[in-house]
Amino acid sequence: MGTKIYDCISRIAERIIENKDYLTDLDREIGDADHGVNMARGFQAVLEKVPRDSDDVGAVLKKTGMTLLSTVGGASGPLYGTAFMEAGKVAAGKEALTTGDVPAIMNAVIEGIQKRGKAVRGEKTMLDALIPALEAYTEQLEAGSDLSGAMDAACAAARDGVEFTKTIRATKGRASYLGDRSIGHQDPGATSATLIMEAVRDFLRG
């Protein structure tokens, strides 16, 4: 057998853990300085608890979500926990994912985060990276691009989304207490969402 879904999850976990201090520093500017610490703790637990040899993509994604729920500790726990669990529902029973599964999964992730966080695009959250990423991915696929090209476009759009969060005011979460003082800072959640997408892209590149 070739690669396992665990290998992809572990790439995500490593990327988050490597960026622990960076994410926490971003969160110190406009939040409670715990995003990196919380995310790293959650993904460390994911590395330990998610089965390495399973071919059941849906089950592994669900287990990742459940683990994040109970180990992250901040709002990103329910948000990313819900995101991975929703992704797991789309991938239920699958042993492999196709180019066409990606938008369905991203859509489920976005809807899960919107519902859990009661947020929409433009509120300086992870949605400001994820929604443009899905749009760019879909656009590229329709234009005849392959998986690699579509993922590159999605990651570039997510990065642009992170830049965009610098220009807007936070209306959700701890940063909303800062009002206009949140302008000028990039959103830690949009940043971690982008890091996750980039880790998946790099994993797919091999």
Partner 1 sequence: MVGIVIVSHSCKIAEGVCDLALQMASDYKKMIPAGGLEDGSLGTDPMRILDAVRSANDGDGVAIFVDLGSGIMSAETAIDLLDGEFPARIADAPLVEGAVVAVIEAATGASLEEVIQAAENARGEEKL
List residues near partner 1 by CB under 8 A.
38, 66, 69-75, 77-79, 81-82, 116-117, 173-174
Identify whether the C-beta of residue 23 lies closer than 8 Å to the C-beta of residue 188: yes
Cβ nearer to partner 1, comparing 69 with 178: 69
Cβ nearer to partner 1, comparing 70 with 167: 70
Cβ nearer to partner 1, comparing 112 with 132: 112
Q: Shortest approach of partner 1 to residue 180 CB, angstroms?
A: 20
Q: Shortest approach of partner 1 to residue 17 CB, angstroms?
A: 17
- Which residues, including other chains, have CB under 8 Å from residue 22's CB and lie 6 or more apart? 36, 191
* Nearest-angstrom CA–CA distance, 195 and 104: 20
Identify whether the C-beta of residue 135 lies closer than 8 Å to the C-beta of residue 157: yes
- DSSP classification of residue 122: T
- DSSP classification of residue 187: -
Q: Shortest approach of partner 1 to residue 188 CB, angstroms?
A: 14
Cβ nearer to partner 1, comparing 84 with 137: 84
Cβ nearer to partner 1, comparing 174 with 185: 174
Q: Shortest approach of partner 1 to residue 113 CB, angstroms?
A: 11
Q: Shortest approach of partner 1 to residue 182 CB, angstroms?
A: 15
Q: Residue 134: phi, psi to the nearest 5?
A: -65, -40
Q: For CA atoms 118, 124, 126, 127, give the dihedral sign.
A: positive
To the nearest 10 degrees (0 to 180), the angle between helices 101-117 and 127-142 is 160
